[in-house]
Structure formats: structure tokens, C-alpha cells
Amino acid sequence: MKKTELLAPAGDFEKLRTAIHYGADAVYLGDSRFSLRGKAGNFGPGELGSAIAYAHGHGAKAYVTVNIFPHNRDIPDIERHIALLGDIRPDAVILSDPGLFALFRKRAPHIDIHISTQANITNAESARFWESLGATRLVLARELSLDEISEIRHRTAVELEVFVHGSVCLSYSGRCYISSFLASRSANTGECANSCRWKYSLMEEKRKGEYFPVFEDDRGTYILSSKDLCMLPHLPRLVAAGIDSFKIEGRMKGINYVAGVVKTYREAVDSLGGGAEYKVRERWLAELSMFSSRGYTTGMFFGKQPDSDYNFDGESYRMSHELVGVVLEVDGTRARVGLRNRIDAGDPVEYLASGLEGKLFPIEGMKDKDEADIVSARNEDVVFIEAPEGVRKHDLIRRAKNFRAAADQRSK
């Protein structure tokens, strides 16, 4: 059985490296000017080539997003961008605009084209239309059920991709105008202000200045904000429906999220098709609770669900662990670490590495960059520590989120 691809977000070079380190088969990335995640770190024209080369050098594919809805003023720059991509040769481009499709076919016919979820492919006829033009993959609309996906699979031969994890946009497969009206930032050209995540209250037309919460609390409402998608327990059903690529959302998310989600789904995908029954490990679910989320939903895959399955209740973002640092080098049992948080000698930390999951290791033998013994260090410091066997370069180090606060309270 063909193994389903695991496709991860690469919002900047560090996230790209992290995604590949933890097992992504492919990454998607973009130039801020032409990407629907224009506020991510992204890659400038001079960096895309290096990013693609890094991916290829580590056995991964790289897909470049050119998925804005361009205006006339954008076309000259896009034409120059197409020429650049023709030279640096990504494995595919991801787009949704028919005009850009025609430009790529004319100016860079050797580059495969994937049709973005922004094209709202919700039926087999639409899928066959793009297939007839030469698209090699379709990123299906988020509004489809498994039954609808299966029907599209039976009526087309083109590769199919779906999102399996991450933030879900309120609007139809992400075509949103709320940000344009409220913040003068168009989500359709990569400048989304996440206006749907803001707190809202209701005001009746004749009662100016009287605001009524939609929910019975005083924080406003998150009625426009969905829980995050998580299809980890249902991957076999997606495979049976004919999906070729599992896509993780998150070019705006940090490396803690990228590492944890990619590692978890890598293990899950690898366990598919091995002859044994697919079982969701408790460790996987625990991992997905360690970084920030809005709680989880299965979206539209199983048809209409109760509203409580979709809506983020606004209570808080779920997060049990925080990022401490990244392993920069390993020499035997000694690791050089770039810190992203304060740390003290003796703090119990976890290493995100195979075989070390769930194990706590106290920080021991900490030295600063000049090899002087220290008992405390902070964000952006580089330190040397004793590390357990199995830790690798680029592994992440984390700590229970409430540990630092509890330790500070005890020290008062």
C-alpha cells in the first residue's frame, strides 16, 4: 500500500528544519508577497532556493505557495517570481487562481501544480476540471465529508490532499473578508488579522452603546472562532477514502507546535498499513496537549456535528508545556543548547526525542558559553548541559508550563 505523505508547514527556515528533523515527507513554504500567510517569517527571493535545496538534501519535497488572489498590480512581480521558481525548481507550486495557473503552465511547464484549498473544490466535476488542465494534486475544500471525498476519489486519478490538523478558518475554505472590513488587511492576499478570533458582543440597532454578550460571561464571545482540527484518531478512514497527503496547518505557529505535531503524526502514519490494527497511543494524545490549541474538532469529515464540537469556548488556550530550548550540537553526553526560556540547574525537562518521551531529566552540569559553571540562564543564552543518550542536534527541550511558576512561588 502506498504510504500517505506527511506534509508540514515551514513558516521560516527554523520551522522548515524542525519539520524535516521530526519526519515530514514534504514542507510547504512561500514568499510573503504571494502567500496567504504573509505575516509568517517566510522566505525572500534569495532564501527560497536555499530552503528548497535544504529540503531536497534531507530527502524531503518542497511545495511553494503562490496562493493569493492577485490584482493586476501583482502580476509583473508574480511573473518574475515564476522565472525564479523555474530556476530553483520546487517540487510543486500551490495556487488557486486560474490566471496564475495559465501563467505557470506557459512560463514554467516543468513545475507541478497543486490546487489550493482556496479553490473550494467540493465536487468531482470541479476536481475533473482541474485534472483536465494538468493539475497534479488537489487540496480539497475543508467542507467535505469522507463520503464526498470517496466519491471524488472514484471519479478522478489526480492526487488528493486534505488538512488533518491545525486551525480552521470560519469562512468557506478560508475565503474571508472580515479582516478586510475590520482591519483593512485582506486575508486573500496574505494579510489576515485573525479578526474572527476577536471578542465580540451583540448590540441592538436602537440601543446604541448597550452591548450584550452572546454567551453568559463578560469576556465577549468566540462564536466566530472554531476549535482546531485533529484527525489523528481517524487516519485509516482518510486513507480508505483515497487521500494521498495529510497536511498540517501552521505556518504562523512556533517550532514547539511544529515539532510536536509532526513527530506525533509521523509515528501515526508509520503505524498505518503494517498489518496490525491502528491504535491511537495515549502518548500521542498527551503530546498534542502540550502546545497551544483551542481544543479539537473533526471538522466536517463526519458531516454536521453539534455546535459544541466546533466552537472554541474562549476559556483559554490549552497548553501543558513550554519550550525551553533547542539542541544546537551534541558531543557525547554534552549538549550545546540555545535557550528560549529561563532555566535553572535542577529543573526537570523533557527532550522531544524518540525513546525519551515522557521522561524527566534534571538540568545538570550547566555552563555558559565561556565554560563557566552557572546555576541559572535565560532566553537567548547559549549554555552547555549534560544530556541523556539519544538526544540529537535540533531536538527540542520542554518543561511543564506550571513548573516555573510553582518554583518561583516556592522561592518567595
Chain Cα centroid distance, residue 348? 28
Q: What is the pLDDT of residue 221?
A: 47
Pick the CATH number of 321-411 from 3.40.47.10, 3.40.470.10, 3.40.630.30, 2.40.30.10: 2.40.30.10
Task: Determine the Cα–Cα distance for residues 301 and 312; give it in Å rounded to an integer.
Answer: 18
pLDDT of residue 403: 73
* Separation between Cα atoms, residue 238 and residue 145, nearest integer Å: 10
DSSP, collapsed to helix, strand or coil, labels residue 300 as coil
Intervals of CATH 2.40.30.10 along the chain:
321-411
DSSP code of 278? P
Please name which of 291, 397, 399 lies closest in space to residue 336, comparing C-alpha atoms: 397
Give the pLDDT of residue 37: 59
pLDDT of residue 36: 64
Q: What is the pLDDT of residue 294?
A: 76
Sequence-ordered strand ranges (E) for 235-291? 245-248
Grid coordinates representing 311 are 466552537
Q: Grid coordinates 482556496 are at which residue?
A: 118
What's the pTM value of the predicted model, to 2 decimals? 0.85
Q: Residue 33's pLDDT is what? A: 86
Residues of the chain with CATH 3.20.20.70: 5-168+226-310
SS3 243: coil
Residue 410, pLDDT score = 45
Give the pLDDT of residue 220: 46
Q: Please name which of 29, 22, 26 lies closest in space to residue 7, comparing C-alpha atoms.
A: 26
DSSP, collapsed to helix, strand or coil, labels residue 322 as strand
CATH topology for 5-168+226-310? TIM Barrel (3.20.20)
Whole-number pLDDT of residue 323: 94
Q: Tens of pLDDT along the chain (412 residues)?
A: 578 999 999 999 999 999 999 999 999 999 878 876 555 567 888 899 999 999 999 999 999 999 888 999 999 999 999 999 999 999 999 999 999 999 999 999 999 999 999 899 999 999 999 999 999 999 999 889 999 999 999 999 999 999 999 987 766 566 665 666 567 776 656 677 777 767 777 677 777 887 765 554 444 445 566 788 999 999 999 999 999 999 999 888 899 999 999 999 999 999 997 667 899 999 999 899 887 777 888 888 998 766 555 555 555 556 788 999 999 999 999 999 999 999 999 999 999 999 999 899 999 999 999 999 999 999 999 999 999 999 999 999 999 987 765 555 444 4
Give whole-number Cα distances, 68 to 31, 64, 117, 135, 341, in Å.
Answer: 11, 12, 12, 17, 35
